[in-house]
Chains A and B, each alone.
Chain A
Amino acid sequence: MTAPQLPTPVPYVSGETEPFWSGAKAGRLILPHCTVCDHTIWYPKAFCGECGSLDVEWRQASGEGTLYSYTQVHRGEGPYRDLSSFVLALVDLDEGARILTNIVDADPAQLIVGQRLRVVFDDAGDAAALVRFTPLSQQSL
């Protein structure tokens, strides 16, 4: 686990989303999956909006993905307000979900749309960890 470089606001954890957060806390990316239509669900919830099923199971994801878009935010809000800048990004997980996250341990000027990334977890309170991403090695670009 990397040392948090960014704020780690504690997310609201409900019974519905607890498997996702406890998984992240344990260093695993766990996604809901519809057992009826075989759809990977994002954001985490106990309902498949694709087919209307309540039959959802939690599966471990690869933890790797591809950079869809990114921005260096210079005007943060809330807990991010005092940062000079941080990277907000959209990452396409290999399982199909496109998620909003941060890129850490990377020079923002070197980021490239389409580059490969892997998940890192930053503890946020006693029951959750935030899911962030960092570039895979240069060889995998």
Chain B
Amino acid sequence: MTIRGKAHIAGAFEHPLRDLPDHSVQQIHAECAVGALADAGLSIRDVDGYFSTGQLGFGGVSMTEYLGLRPSYVDATFTGGSSYLAHVGHAAAAIAAGKCKVALITQGAKVRGVLRGPKHSGDTPEFPFETVYGETNAGIYALAARRHMHEYGTTAEQLAAVKVAASHYARHNPAALLRKLVTVEDVVNSPMIANPLHRLDCCVVTDGGGALVVVAPEIARQLKRPSVRILGHAEHIKHSGNGPNDFTSTGAAVSAPRALAEAGVGLGDVDYASIYDSFTITVIMTLEDFGFCKKGQGGAFVADGALARDGVIPINTDGGGLCSNHPGYQGGLVKIVEAVRQLRGEAHPETQVRDCAIAVAHGTGGGMSRQASVTLVLGRGDA
């Protein structure tokens, strides 16, 4: 059994705003749901499957009621920022199994100006052994960056190249939070957050979110807008493995080859990639683990211009989390939205990849100590 070609993404929507002080979180979910359903040409009454992280209220139940849905299938998988990529895979599996035909996935978030509290409650198993030492997201990824530098000679300037590439794309995205072109010097001269990571090595913090509509192929065929085929999906939770967890690789090393195998495509067939970019180091390690370059060579790879539109693998052509949007500390859903834009040929003319037929979207949830990697392989309607 495979999900290859068993479901399509028919609607995709990214909330256009990054700062929503007067919205409620549920209202952001609703605006995104309306946007994605309108994009698909479907009504909320058509929805019979609902997917969310379940972080707001009582699991998936509260938002199901708020949206007035009557789903026959509900999934509230939470794996941090990669949750939404998991939702697409799970929706495709549910559709393939006949459990639903029109699955709605929504994200809503409001975090700007809010002092971030602990990620977990004190009785979470790992909490007493990590959080008490002042663990922060940037600190955890800084530990990864430092070790990557130690093992492979990666430099701060190479990390910065990821941000520079994102800023080139973000110039063309009117909705991006940061639209200014930056240089390597700008990045390495920005304030140190947790060395070796500077402020401009870190993604933006935004409100907002997005939504997706995943449908059965027979429904996709009836819709006017071009849809995107779901070709492959794989998940991997990388944790301590009961022993030392290396901080220089990601779960993509497992999830990416499995998703590509399900899709029946090779890495060389991939025209565009949405790569989770919570920090610049996240991108370098993930590209290595996909196999776009050799392990340890990610720094030189990105510094050589690999991420540009005419480079080896254009990524995050909307400006990504580093420049455009990372709503609620979770960048997975908007990664899928940009992949859909590329496959529909609807990216900005200056960032549209020519003849884009196969795309991947990859999410990394959690930190480096433990993380949920989810890879999707998507194809243009004719792919």
Q: Are A113 and B146 in contact (CB under 8 A)?
A: yes
A48 neighbours in B (Cβ, 8 Å): 242
Least CB distance, A18 to chain B, in whole angstroms: 11
Q: Are A76 and B147 in contact (CB under 8 A)?
A: no
A44 neighbours in B (Cβ, 8 Å): 129
Cβ of B1 within 8 Å of any chain A Cβ, yes or no, is no
Roughly how many angstroms separate A7 CA and B131 CA in the complex, as a whole number? 12
Roughly how many angstroms separate A41 CA and B126 CA in the complex, as a whole number? 13
B197 neighbours in A (Cβ, 8 Å): 71
Roughly how many angstroms separate A36 CA and B312 CA in the complex, as a whole number? 50
1/0 per residue, CB under 8 A from A, across B171-195: the answer is 0000000000000000000011111
Roughly how many angstroms separate A113 CA and B134 CA in the complex, as a whole number? 20
* A71-B242 in contact given A77-B116, A78-B118, A113-B146 (Cβ < 8 Å): no
Interface size class of B (residues with CB under 8 A): 35 or more
1/0 per residue, CB under 8 A from A, across B123-139: the answer is 10111111111111011
Among A13, A49, A76, point to the contact of B128 (Cβ < 8 A): A13
Cβ of B349 within 8 Å of any chain A Cβ, yes or no, is no
B122 neighbours in A (Cβ, 8 Å): 11-12
Least CB distance, B261 to chain A, in whole angstroms: 27
A86-140 contacts to B, CB under 8 A, are 86, 88-90, 92, 96-102, 113, 124, 130, 132
Roughly how many angstroms separate A92 CA and B118 CA in the complex, as a whole number? 25
Least CB distance, A49 to chain B, in whole angstroms: 5
B150 neighbours in A (Cβ, 8 Å): 69, 113
Among A74, A96, A130, point to the contact of B132 (Cβ < 8 A): A130
Among B129, B134, B135, B194, point to the contact of A6 (Cβ < 8 A): B134
Among B133, B247, B369, point to the contact of A102 (Cβ < 8 A): B133
Roughly how many angstroms separate A9 CA and B118 CA in the complex, as a whole number? 12
Cβ of B253 within 8 Å of any chain A Cβ, yes or no, is no
Q: Are B142 and A90 in contact (CB under 8 A)?
A: no
Roughly how many angstroms separate A89 CA and B247 CA in the complex, as a whole number? 12
1/0 per residue, CB under 8 A from B, across A59-84: the answer is 00000000011111111111110010
Q: Are B133 and A101 in contact (CB under 8 A)?
A: yes
Q: Are B242 and A12 in contact (CB under 8 A)?
A: no
| Nearest-neighbor residue (CB-CB) of B130 within chain A | A100
Q: Are A71 and B142 in contact (CB under 8 A)?
A: yes
| Nearest-neighbor residue (CB-CB) of B195 within chain A | A72
Q: Are B247 and A68 in contact (CB under 8 A)?
A: yes
Q: Are A102 and B134 in contact (CB under 8 A)?
A: yes
Least CB distance, B363 to chain A, in whole angstroms: 23
Cβ of B231 within 8 Å of any chain A Cβ, yes or no, is no
* A43-B146 in contact given A68-B247, A78-B118, A96-B243 (Cβ < 8 Å): no
Cβ of A5 within 8 Å of any chain B Cβ, yes or no, is no
* A76-B240 in contact given A12-B123, A14-B123, A88-B139 (Cβ < 8 Å): no
B243 neighbours in A (Cβ, 8 Å): 39, 50, 96-98
| Nearest-neighbor residue (CB-CB) of A113 within chain B | B150
| Nearest-neighbor residue (CB-CB) of A48 within chain B | B242
Q: Are B242 and A75 in contact (CB under 8 A)?
A: no
Cβ of B144 within 8 Å of any chain A Cβ, yes or no, is yes
| Complex A-B: 22 CB contacts under 8 Å | A11-B128, A17-B128, A49-B242, A50-B242, A68-B147, A70-B146, A71-B195, A72-B195, A73-B134, A74-B195, A75-B138, A75-B193, A78-B131, A83-B134, A88-B139, A88-B140, A89-B143, A98-B244, A98-B245, A99-B129, A100-B129, A130-B133
Nearest 6 Cβ contacts at the A-B interface: A11-B128, A71-B142, A80-B134, A98-B244, A12-B122, A69-B147
